Amino acid sequence: MGRSYTPKYRIEFDNSTPFSWDSKSYGRPTIVNLRKFRDSMNDSFLPGGANEHIKGWKVMGCKVVNQFTGETVCEVER
């Protein structure tokens, strides 16, 4: 069996369920990296993207939260 652990950070969206921030894939949770993440998510909803089957969805505002303290690390507004 695999090992279970709680990720240090999570991403919260204005209009979706939160999920974990993967520092190996996205880098440190900074405003610049969060904007890159948001833009790449929005690109995945365009025709030819991995999530093109989800119609009318767009990441507007999002923030990275420390799971253990509840402190907002960085935030990108609409």
pLDDT for residue 14 is more than 90: no
Kindly state whether residue 13 falls inside one of the protein's structural domains: yes
pLDDT value at position 3? Answer: 85
Confidence of residue 4 (pLDDT cuts 50, 70, 90): confident
pLDDT value at position 7? Answer: 87
User: Which are the contacts of 68, defined by CB distance < 8 A and separation ≥ 6?
Assistant: 6, 8
pLDDT value at position 43? Answer: 93
Kindly state whether residue 32 falls inside one of the protein's structural domains: yes
Q: How many domains does the chain have?
A: 1
Kindly state whether residue 2 falls inside one of the protein's structural domains: no
Which helix (H) or strand (E) segment holds residue 20: the answer is strand 19-20
- Contacts for 42-47 with beta carbons within 8 Å, 24 or more apart? none
Kindly state whether residue 60 falls inside one of the protein's structural domains: yes
Q: What is the pLDDT of residues 28-70, one digit of tens each?
A: 999 999 999 999 999 999 999 999 898 888 888 899 999 999 9
